[in-house]
Amino acid sequence: MNHQTRVYNDIFEMLPSEENPSPMVRINRMSPSPDFELHAKLEWLNPFGSVKDRAAWAMLREMEEKGEVGHGRGLVEPTSGNTGISLAAMAKARGYHIRAVVPNKVPLEKKVLLKIAGAELDVVNDALCPAPGLGDGSINIAKSHAKAQAKKYAMPNQYENEQNVLAHMRTTGPEIWRQTEGKVTHLFVSLGTCGTVSGTSRFLKGKNSSIKVIAVQPTEGHDVPGLRNVSQLGVSKLFEVEYKLAYARAMELCQTEGLLAGPSSGLIYEGAREIILRDKKGFGVMIFPDNIFKYTSNMMKHIPGLATGNEA
């Protein structure tokens, strides 16, 4: 493996690490304050297309080390898309089968991508992001498959697997510390399983306890795939942003910065913008989870004009 020439023996060698960090790009035309340097960390440039490559790889590697997969045993996982896409591609490259339990509201693009990546799909009636504890939620359905067919399925379970947090402590946190040369003052993230926020902030706060970690969450009744808000998480004091702005800001990032950012990145940008207008000075890093390509149908719903003028 050679990160200089970018020639690799297999796709796994491309996964992000301190030696091979995902890129950080400065925000220019949409910079909210000249005294606040703001960067986006582009997780869609990971080999399977999102921030979830990190957790998926850490979980799969541990399962392989423990001998929990292989010899006819594959994976079953509840997912709102990105974890499933990463896991499916990795599992298939290793020769394992995979079943993804997906909430119905997940964008069509993600469902089709899961199938293209090789997952068998179980679409269930559930919230946009699977919610632990719900009787018929996708988490419990995946658990029941893993229990009833233990020889066929092992379940990584991103919602309860410590590797989801450790992945970010080992990679995302150290990458940001090194890429900013320790200058980072603000970290802006979103919340799904909370693996990103927990692992990255645990590492960075260990280096400098005064770093501010801002978790941006969408308003009630939101439609931002991959994310949860306060009521869905059962926590409070997080930063709330009108969810439709996720789409408007994603569009603006695409058309102003050349950053083809997805809706959760748009939401994170809006949260960062509001905090920067308040704090004025600093060095911020936003973790942009994935790009816009999986969300064209959501964008058509929320951005006027995209759904029309597409026919002769």
- List interacting residues with ligand PLP (CB under 6 A): 51-52, 80, 82, 190-196, 225-227, 262, 264, 289-290
Smaller CB separation from ligand PLP, 140 or 298: 298
State the Cα–Cα distance between residues 164 and 156, nearest whole angstrom.
10
Query: Taking every pair of C-alpha atoms in the chain, what is the biggest distance, in angstroms?
Result: 58
* Shortest CB 269 distance to ligand PLP, Å: 13
CB 144 within 8 A of CB 122: no
State the Cα–Cα distance between residues 152 and 207, nearest whole angstrom.
43
Smaller CB separation from ligand PLP, 37 or 251: 251
The distance from CA 220 to its chain's CA centroid, rounded to whole angstroms, is 20
Smaller CB separation from ligand PLP, 80 or 171: 80
Smaller CB separation from ligand PLP, 96 or 188: 188
* Shortest CB 55 distance to ligand PLP, Å: 6
* Shortest CB 164 distance to ligand PLP, Å: 7
Q: Which of 134, 187, 123, 189 is nearest to 159 (CA)?
A: 134
CB 163 within 8 A of CB 189: no
What token pair was written down for 108?
Answer: 């069509």
State the Cα–Cα distance between residues 283 and 89, nearest whole angstrom.
35
* Shortest CB 274 distance to ligand PLP, Å: 19
* Shortest CB 134 distance to ligand PLP, Å: 17
Q: Which of 144, 198, 192, 136 is nearest to 170 (CA)?
A: 198
**48: Cβ contacts below 8 Å, ≥ 6 apart:** 11, 56, 85, 86, 89, 90, 117
> By beta-carbon distance, which residue lies closest to ligand PLP?
226
The alpha carbons of the chain give a radius of gyration, in whole angstroms, of 19
Smaller CB separation from ligand PLP, 96 or 288: 288
**125: Cβ contacts below 8 Å, ≥ 6 apart:** 103, 104, 136
* Shortest CB 299 distance to ligand PLP, Å: 14
Smaller CB separation from ligand PLP, 140 or 164: 164
Smaller CB separation from ligand PLP, 223 or 279: 223
* Shortest CB 51 distance to ligand PLP, Å: 6
